[in-house]
Chain A
Amino acid sequence: MSSRGKKLNRRQAMVGAGTFGIGASALAAPAVAQSAPTVIRMATSWPQGLGGLADSAQRVADRINTISGGEIAVEVNWAGTLVGALAVHDAAASGEIDMYHSCEYYFQGKHRGMNFFTTVPLGLTGLEQMGWIRHGGGQALWDELNAEFGVKSFAAGSTGVQMGGWFAKEINSVDDLKGLTMRIPGLGGQVLTALGANTVVLPGGGIVEALFDGSIDATEWVGPYNDLHFGFQKLLSSYVYPGFHEPGTMASVGFNKGFWDRLPQEHKSLIEMVCDAELTSHTADYYGNNGIALAQLLNENGVQPTRLPDEVWRQISEVAIDVAASVAEDDAMGRKIYESWAIYRDLMNGSAPVSQSAYLAKRGAEDLFVEV
């Protein structure tokens, strides 16, 4: 029996037992018994058990399986179990897998425009990014770019603004970045390369090992929620903010395009709806858990995050703006993507006075309801 056949049998057995707290009686509808499910082989860029991103991938699969009443069986294959963490786009394009849960900037080697469908240094926050994707022409450009590779992708929530990273020393000037070897993907990595750092891209499952073996001496991942889990606070002393490089990192769900095109419309609607719901669930998961984990890092681990000096921020930002704009010079597709995105960034920046961020900046974090 093929490995796929074995997986299918496991999935059927699991569905029959009632997944995700759904009683077996609820799935006893004739529709379940009468037809075999459409099996969707999903691979992730995340290791099993990673809070936030892996949880979101599992939730996407579970909700599709539950709502379809057994008509669809998405099977989750964690990073490295079916294909490598950063090979999921290739695998979907070739049909080796049907679906992935990842971030598009891992595939910037195919086209740097991919970064714009995850996050761009000094770019859009998560909600702004979703506005561009849905209402600013982003999805059409994403479809056009991915069609070259035989992939169809959707947004599936955001990690939100990220921290600037963990270092073995304080960052007091851009000279302190020179010679560092830092794990940082996407255009953010290109910014630091331009400033003299060595940058590498590692999946989440490989960062701690790389810190231990000394192949990197600085890293970023997302923020306090995952950082606490990885234990970066035990390995590196300097925790820097704000993160210039990833202000609204968007997760993606991608499909082999032929597979997607052949799905019946009601399955497409269901899958798109579940991905749309992640805009809230995944994003809120990170926002809330980052708050809880930050308090833990501060109060129980003695971590003291340090703000990048204004001059460092300014110099990094100048390079970041140039690096993002340089994508327009790559080719016509890069120019279309960059120009559409840049227009939207200007639109969002113009609405800053009535944004959530402006309220939060004025409100602060100290002495809230202190009189109560």
Chain B
Amino acid sequence: MKRRTVLGAGLGGLALSATAVSAQSRIPLSIVTDMPERAEGLARRVSAASAGRIAISVREAPASDAPGFLDAAGSGRVDGFVAYEDAFIADNPAYALFSAMPGGMSPSECEGWCEVADGTFFRDILGEEHGVKTFAFGDDGPMPLWSKEPLRGLSSLTSARIGTRGMGLQAYREMGAGSVEDITQARARDLRRFDLIEGMSYSEMAERELLGVFTHAVAPNAIRPMSTRAFGINLAKWQGMSPEDQTLLERCVTAEHGAIRAKAKHDNALTMRQVDGQVSSDAMPDDIWNAQIAAANALMGKMFDAGNTAADAADAYLYFLADVAGWSEIGEVAYFNGRKEVLSQ
């Protein structure tokens, strides 16, 4: 386990008048994450914007520890975390709504829900129940299902060993898959023993040298239509901050969220080009897609039986989805299909 601290790295902030700096208290924040590079990007941005006054120290922990980050931050053992919130679905399945809900919202739709409707309200309700305040913090986009062999249909899943995460674990069991394991609990070299894995982007697969093993990227994949991480902070710590500091931290997290989305899009596209010919881009077989959607319906149904918060959040999610999906269809999808057809010629 490593501990990294970013204090004033790359700061012009030292130029800020001594009066201004000393007039406000210094705020150290210790956060734990299995994604230290992303968290350190936030630490640098917060440090620059606050002239070093808010100092985030980043402690790296393995992904297998991520389910414990929520309690660690809520109880105050650490000040915060950066993680996929679907690591917390054992605490409340509604966390999947903000991370990756099978058959559900895309990243842009979920951002819209949180920005203009009641997504943030329910995110806050969920957070309050666990003593944290959370924000979206980057998204790697929809993720393909990675396979060693071409997928012929639903029968390909029955005897396959599948590695996934979050709601994917329950979804593939709903689909009758034979062997489903949590990839966050597997060591990196063990990922090669799976027949199918999901929960990793093109660039992550390349970093782990898995693209030579899983040579089929099958998409669209209804199980992970988005992959949003969260920054969470201990609620008492958050409430103890001044409104200016809350605004600064929230804006920095939001700035990083967008920057990470754009960088992930860029990196994945570059990787796809680099491995063109080595990795096959396969269309999801219809019967697997249909089974994924059926599983998504079952999981959403269970959310209504998982307590008032989960039920209310799910109800609000579906209400907004009914509106925003229409816009997605005549806006982004119609343009995307039209451009793809023209450019392919």
Contact = CB atoms under 8 A, between A and B. Distances in A.
B277 interface: no
Given A125-B336, A273-B45, A273-B48, A372 B301 contact: yes
A289 B116 CA distance: 7
Interface residues of A, number: 93
Contact of A351 (B51, B265, B284, B338): B265
A26 interface: yes
B214 to A, nearest CB: 14
A317 to B, nearest CB: 4
Contacts of B152: none
A274 interface: yes
B12 A266 contact: yes
B272 A358 contact: no
A280 B112 contact: no
Contact of A264 (B15, B219, B221, B323): B15
B296 interface: yes
Nearest to B318: A369
B263 A242 contact: no
Contacts of B15: 264-266
A295 B331 CA distance: 13
Contact of A131 (B103, B265, B276, B323): B265
Interface string B107-144: 11101111111000000000000000000100001111
Interface string B208-245: 00000000010111100110000000000000001110
Contacts of B268: 351, 354
Interface in B240-291: 242-244, 247-248, 251-252, 254-259, 261-263, 265-266, 268-270, 272-273, 276, 281, 283-284, 289
A346 B206 CA distance: 21
Interface string B283-306: 110000100001011101100100
Nearest to B111: A284
Chain A interface main SS type: helix
Contacts of B202: 354
A363 interface: yes
Contacts of B257: 280
Contacts, number: 316
B326 A291 contact: yes
A46 to B, nearest CB: 18
Contact of A354 (B11, B136, B142, B340): B142
A242 B329 CA distance: 10
Given A26-B242, A280-B254, A358 B219 contact: yes
Contact of A128 (B259, B265, B323): B265
A283 interface: yes
B20 interface: yes
Given A134-B262, A360-B329, A287 B111 contact: yes
Interface residues of B, number: 99
Interface stretch (A27-35, A107-115, A205-213): A27-35
Interface string A335-353: 0000000000111111111
A276 B41 CA distance: 13
A27 B24 CA distance: 10
Contacts of A67: 49, 244, 247-248, 251
Interface in B169-204: 202
Interface of A: 21-23, 26-27, 29-31, 34-35, 63, 66-67, 69, 71, 122, 125, 127-128, 130-131, 134-136, 160-163, 223-224, 241-244, 247, 264-266, 268-270, 273-274, 276-277, 279-281, 283-285, 287-292, 294-295, 298, 305, 307, 313-314, 317-318, 321, 345-365, 368-372
27 contacts: A31-B24, A34-B19, A63-B247, A63-B251, A69-B244, A127-B261, A131-B269, A135-B262, A160-B331, A223-B327, A223-B331, A247-B335, A273-B49, A274-B251, A279-B255, A279-B258, A280-B255, A283-B258, A317-B339, A354-B143, A354-B202, A356-B332, A358-B219, A362-B222, A363-B225, A369-B321, A372-B297
Given A288-B113, A350-B273, A357-B333, 6 more contacts: A131-B266, A290-B327, A314-B342, A354-B202, A355-B336, A372-B300
Q: Which 10 pairs of residues, A with B, have the shortest CB-CB distance?
A: A265-B12, A288-B112, A291-B324, A279-B258, A357-B336, A288-B116, A284-B115, A276-B255, A284-B111, A242-B334
Interface of B: 11-13, 15-17, 19-20, 23-24, 45, 48-49, 51, 103-104, 106-109, 111-117, 136, 141-144, 202, 217, 219-222, 225-226, 242-244, 247-248, 251-252, 254-259, 261-263, 265-266, 268-270, 272-273, 276, 281, 283-284, 289, 294, 296-298, 300-301, 304, 318, 320-340, 342-343
